[in-house]
Amino acid sequence: MASHADFKDRQFLAVIGDEDSVTGLLLAGIGHVTTGADAQKNFLVVDNKTDNAAIESAFESFTEERKDIGIVLINQHVADRIRHRIDSYTAAFPTVLEIPSKDHPYDPEKDSVLRRVRRLFGE
């Protein structure tokens, strides 16, 4: 499933979320901008004007293109906007974790783990 080399270099957490969520997590010191010509950020601030394509492309970049990210944190309400992408994502690394935001408390109904639990016992 996961090769040895695949997880070793994954040393960053990435965030996709509203401004306060990103600010809060960056305060903890997880923010990183790569050095070099194409400075890549490991976060995306999403607001009402951000279109879904931008969210999707950030998600794709963090999960598929970049090999240095181990956990992708995404606000649950932002994840809802690209739900099909989130639900069809099955790779072991990076792992995706949905987190609550200021205006949207965590909804267990949408929790991927709890949905898996239901599937396991409902079979």
Partner 1 sequence: MEQQHIDELLERYLGLLNEYTVLRQSLSQVQSGVYQNIARANFSGERGMRYGQDHYDERMQAARRLTISVDDKLQPTFAVIDVPAEEPEEEKAKASGETEKQGDEEDSEKPARKKNKKNKNPLHWFGLFAPMPLRTAQTQSVQAVEEVIPRLVSINAEMLNLEIEVRRARKRRAKAEAVAEKKGEARGVTDTQPQKAPVEAS
Which residues of this chain interact with partner 1, rule CB under 8 A?
1-2, 4, 7-8, 10-13, 19-33, 35-36, 39, 42, 45, 70-71, 73, 92-93, 95, 97, 99-102, 105-106, 108, 111, 113, 116-117, 120, 123
Q: Shortest approach of partner 1 to residue 19 CB, angstroms? A: 5
Question: How far apart (Å, rounded) are the C-alpha atoms in residues 15 and 36?
Answer: 21
* Edge-to-edge order in the sheet of strand 69-75: 43-45, 12-17, 69-75, 95-99
Residue closer to partner 1 (CB basis): 54 or 92: 92
**C-beta of 41 vs 81, nearer to partner 1:** 41
Q: What is the smallest separation between the CB atom of 56 and partner 1, expressed in angstroms?
A: 20
Which residue number, 39 or 53, has a Cβ lying nearer to partner 1?
39
Phi-psi region of 29 (alpha: psi -120 to 50; beta: other; left: phi over 0): left
- How many whole angstroms separate alpha carbon 86 and alpha carbon 96? 8
Note the residue count of the chain. 123
For residues 8 and 20, what is the distance between their CA atoms, to the nearest angstrom? 30
Looking at the Cβ atoms of 1 and 53, the one nearer to partner 1 is: 1
